[in-house]
Structures are given as structure tokens and as C-alpha cells.
Amino acid sequence: MRKICVYLIVLVLFLLSGCTINNVIFSEEQASGTLQSSELLSGEIVVENRNGSVKVEKWDEDYVKVDYEKKVNSFIEADLKNYLDKTTVELINAENSVTIKTSLPRITNGGVSVSIKIYVPKNVHLDITTTNGSITVNSGIVGDVKLKSSNGGININGLTGKLDLDTSNGSIKLSDIEGSGSVNTSNGSIYFDSSLEVGDITLNTSNGKIDVDLQNPVGDKYKLKTSNGNITVKIPADIGFHLDASTTNGTIKSNLDGISGRNVEEEINGGGFRLDMETTNGTININSK
């Protein structure tokens, strides 16, 4: 209670001196460190973070390395070191798995964040959760991935495996994916571009567009759904598929003959896999190339 009173007195003094909250200068302190696992040739990597980004890179070593950076800001400079010491990153070794956890103190007069960069062997599964930060996976990992964030985007560049992606208030960008899965966001767009073999995929968003370049589809069903956004699909000209597309307040455009209007169900090139597309307030573009 006494500490709260001190904060209120400080705030009143700032206001009486003609300052606004935007004029308050926050002090910042940061620290970095490195953690290392025992041997792990394959298995699962679990990450539980809060208020910070997570980046994953493949490397050729047989263990996991974690580089992290802690940041604390506050307009009470004397509190910085205490908050920084209470911000911890832990690596837990188990049989065929590594878990990385962050613990952040509650700060009433500032903020705290932890950014993590993880180096992993090629053949691993990823289960990553964070808030108020992005998740990035690079460099050709072979394994299933489950990524969840809020208030942050998800980016994957090079992956062979099954996708389970979920975020809010952020876009999702996927390239060079070989596999299948489910991708969901809200208040963000979805971009999917792959020349590799792509199995069944569901892409779902609201208040965002969906852009897809399917160069080598091998699945049975591709479902793309949004509201308040356009859907654009590029697909090879010689591939057969069953098209089911609809929009409420928009139109369907295509360089394929006979594809127009607001609702289209058609066998293209004799039919094949299903391509379902649905939007409410947006245009659907189907480009055969």
C-alpha cells in the first residue's frame, strides 16, 4: 500500500510540473544469456514464453542452444535490477525433449519482455507458445509444429511436417512448406507460397486477406476462409480440381473460362481435389498459370 502511495505522489508531481504521461521518461535495463541442453538428436522442443518473440533456427549440432535477452523498463529506476533478477529463463532436459520456460514478474510501473532465439537439430517437433510477440521458424526443420501466439505474427520459411498454427492480431507467412495442417488467425492476413508437395490445408482468418500459391498440390482438400478480405489463389494451368467458391459482398474473378459471379461450383480440367473458398466482404481471384 505504501509503495502504491509513493507511485501516486510521483505521478501527481509530474502532472503539477506540466508533464503528461507521454513525457515520462522510462529507464531501461537489459541482460542476455545462453543455455544449452544435453544431447538431443531428435525429439520435442517445448517453449513457454510471455511478452517476447521466439525465433528458431536449424543447425548441425546434436543439442539445443538458447540465446535470450531480458528487458525491463520502469520510471522508477531503483526497481530495474530487482525486476531483471526476477525475470528468469529455464531450460529443462528430459528424455527425448527439451522445455524452455520464462518467468516474468508483475510490474505496475513499467514493462518486461524476453526475446528467445533457439538453435535446434533438424529432426525435431516444435510446441511453442508466446504472447505479445512473433514466432519465426527458419531453415528446413523436419517435424510437426504447433505454434500459438497472441498479438504477434507467425513466419515459417522451410518446413517438412504437419502444421498447427494459431494467432490473433497478427499475420501468418508460410513459404517452402512440405506437408499439411491447419492455420488460423484473426485480424491478420495469411500468405502461403510453396513449390513443394502440399497436402490438405485449412487457412482461416477474419479481417484479413488470404494469398496462396499452390505449385504442387497433392492433397484431397484445400479450404480457404476469411471475412472482410480478399482471397487470391494461383494454381498450375494443367491441374484438375473441384472448385467451390462463394462471396457475399464481392465477386469472383478468374482467367479460367466461365468462372464469374458470387457463387461458383465447377469441375476444372476434369476435376480432382477440392478447392473451397469463402469470404464475406471481399473478392475471390483464381489465377491459372
Q: Are 287 and 255 in contact (CB under 8 A)?
A: yes
Per-residue confidence (pLDDT) for residue 6, from 0 to 100: 47
Residues 110-145 pLDDT 10s: 899 999 999 999 999 999 999 999 999 997 899 999
Confirm whether pTM is higher than 0.95: no
pLDDT per residue over 183-221, tens digit each? 999 999 999 999 889 999 999 999 999 999 999 999 999
Return the pLDDT at 9: 52
pLDDT at residue 54, as a whole number: 98
Per-residue pLDDT of 225-239, as tens digits, reads 999 999 999 999 999
Identify the band that residue 15 occupies on the pLDDT scale cut at 50, 70 and 90.
very low
pLDDT of residue 21: 46
pLDDT tens track for 145-170: 999 999 999 999 999 999 999 999 99
pLDDT surpassing 90 at residue 17: no
Q: What is the mean pLDDT of residues 266-277?
A: 95
- DSSP-assigned letters across all residues of the chain: -HHHHHHHHHHHHHHHTT--GGGPPPEEEEEEEEEEEEE-SEEEEEEE-SSS-EEEEE-SSSEEEEEEEEEEEES-GGGHHHHHHH-EEEEEEETTEEEEEEE----SSEEEEEEEEEEE-SEEEEEEE-SSS-EEEEEEEES-EEEE-SSS-EEEEEEEEEEEEE-SSS-EEEEEEEEEEEEE-SSS-EEEEESS-EEEEEEE-SSS-EEEEESSB-SSEEEEE-SSS-EEEEE-TT--EEEEEEESSS-EEESSTT--BSEEEEEETT--EEEEEEESSS-EEEEE-
**How do residues 30-79 score in pLDDT, each as one tens digit?**
999 999 999 998 999 999 999 999 999 999 999 999 999 999 998 788 88
Please provide the average confidence, as pLDDT, over all residues in the chain. 91
Q: Determine the pLDDT at residue 25.
A: 67
